[in-house]
Structure 1
């Protein structure tokens, strides 16, 4: 195991906490510096604003942007930008930037009105059409920066953990194995390539435009839909158990029925996966057949 892999393994349990801490820290630092800058500008121009007002302006704006980060994360996960798809996705991202800006403005105005009311004053946003346009011209830059940061972070993680792909058909001569039913997947990691046997895949999870191949405690994203991957796996070994999961029957230790009609799968390594009721009976039959056949 390389030092990079060890670091990544140690980071994974803390990943969500680290990501949340980053965004909160970025919000606090940005709000602090922006507030100080506006207060200095107000004092230099001798404007009749109490110091608490610039703090309210900047804090309300930053807080709404912080609250909108999860939506941007989900959006970019559902429609990630790639070299071959970014042009087609530009209209969708442009529309998302408008929604981001409108939600940001409405939320921050509401917070400012509450803050002003607590001080016995009234907050006036001004001419709404003009102010919305003004805010959008600022917000679109924040939106682009947030999207770029999220994609850069994911790119680094993919480079560290490795990204899987299907073996391509050779330019000359017949393929060494069936392209329609591959026995191996190619994984690229930090400039190196290695093969992962299909039989070693324990389970697969859908993640937007990707399907994460789980192999011995590691996830290798494969740019494909789960349905497409399922059609290329051995149906005697792999089974669909949920709209977001495919499992290797060799790794299923127990099927636990639930009162809802669904089930919970317990894998041999201790992992639990959901099983929808529509797949439950078929899974039990296939798991029993596989065990009887010694698969």
Structure 2
């Protein structure tokens, strides 16, 4: 029993499955439909395969996919889609389908062979050849991966939208200079710029050189009002005084300390988007 004031909250929590739960819940009817479709097609073809075999095929596949779903969620967190790097995102996620498919194939091969062996029968999963079987399964697993990735991406977007940013006065940017940890207030940083294998944090008083990539720091600074204005530069939008278009269509950005930096036209929309 719960009090009237808590019933709504408790009810909402009771039906929140999370991405893994959604994958499992949706996977059950999909497996049932696929198994029954297999049975009907085999009956049409005059094959009298016991119904338990298609049921076994789909059950083992479903269990393997549900078990591997968190791997896809991890990959989506590690390499999330970003508007200016969609091609890179697509290539990385496509590459991730390979270990996903190999793990899926290994799991269903072991479980199905074991089940057939226990029943005194032979399955012959790789009778058509290992390469052809792997390719056959991979083309299906790519679609499965894409659907599950979309589920995790949707939940991750909701999670980011629900998470309130900490108060600006409580936020600090931790950077490493050698063995020392340096903490910067976000408002003190003017720009963050790529410098080979390093990244430069420019403040009004000095420049901090930190090992890393601009792409990684862009993700770390997400939510702190930093925007990419060039392939090699992020700018603190709170420190921008003037944005002026140039004759070529690019941008001339004047910061509040008088420094002028160049911005690329391809990042203008992200720069001017509301936070």
TM-score using structure 1 length: 0.51
Paired residue for 2:130, among 114, 128, 131? 128
Contact 1:209 1:223 in 2 (8 A): no
Verify the 8 A CA contact 2:20 2:69 in the aligned structure 1.
no
Distance 1:129 1:181, change over 3 A: closer
Where structure 1 has 5 or more consecutive residues not aligned to the other structure, the ranges are 1-5, 167-176, 183-207, 213-219, 225-295
Correspondence for 2:157: 155
Separation in structure 1 between the aligned mates of residue 8 and residue 100 of structure 2, nearest angstrom: 32
Question: Match for 1:180 among 184, 188, 194?
Answer: 188
- Deviation, 1:48, is 3.6
- Per the TM alignment, residue 78 of structure 1 is displaced from its structure 2 partner at its CA by 1.5
Query: Following the alignment from structure 1 to structure 2, what is the Cα–Cα distance between the partners of residues 47 and 223?
Result: 64
Flag the 1:117–1:159 CA change in 2: closer, same or farther, 3 A: same
Give the length in aligned residue pairs. Answer: 177
Cα displacement (A) at 1:222 = 5.7
Contact 1:78 1:209 in 2 (8 A): no
* SS, match of residue 84 in structure 2: coil
State how far apart, in whole Å, the 2-side matches of 1:164 and 1:14 are.
28
- Indicate whether 1:39 and 2:47 are aligned: no
Unaligned runs of 5+ in 2: 1-5, 169-184, 191-216, 227-275
Alpha-carbon RMSD across the aligned residues, in angstroms, is 3.8
* Matched position secondary structure for 1:85: helix
Could you say which residue in structure 2 is the equivalent of 1:80?
A: 80
The alpha-carbon deviation at position 47 of structure 1 amounts to 1.5
Equivalent residue, structure 1, for 2:71: 71
- Could you tell me how far 1:42 is from its partner in structure 2? 1.1
CA distance in 2, matches of 1:43, 1:95: 38
Equivalent pair of 1:164/1:222 in contact (CA under 8 Å): no
- 1:111 CA displacement: 0.9
- The residue aligned with 1:106 is 106
Q: Structure 2: how far apart are the matches of 1:181 and 1:8?
A: 44
In structure 2, C-alpha distance between the alignment counterparts of 1:164 and 1:84, rounded to whole Å: 26
The answer to whether the Cα contact below 8 Å between 2:97 and 2:145 also exists between their aligned partners in 1 is yes
- Counterpart of 1:144 in structure 2 is 146
Alignment correspondent of 1:26? 26
Please say which of residues 43-52 and 103-112 is displaced more in the overlay. 43-52
Q: What pairs up with 1:1-295 in 2 under 5 angstroms?
A: 17-125=17-125, 126=127, 127-161=129-163, 179-180=187-188
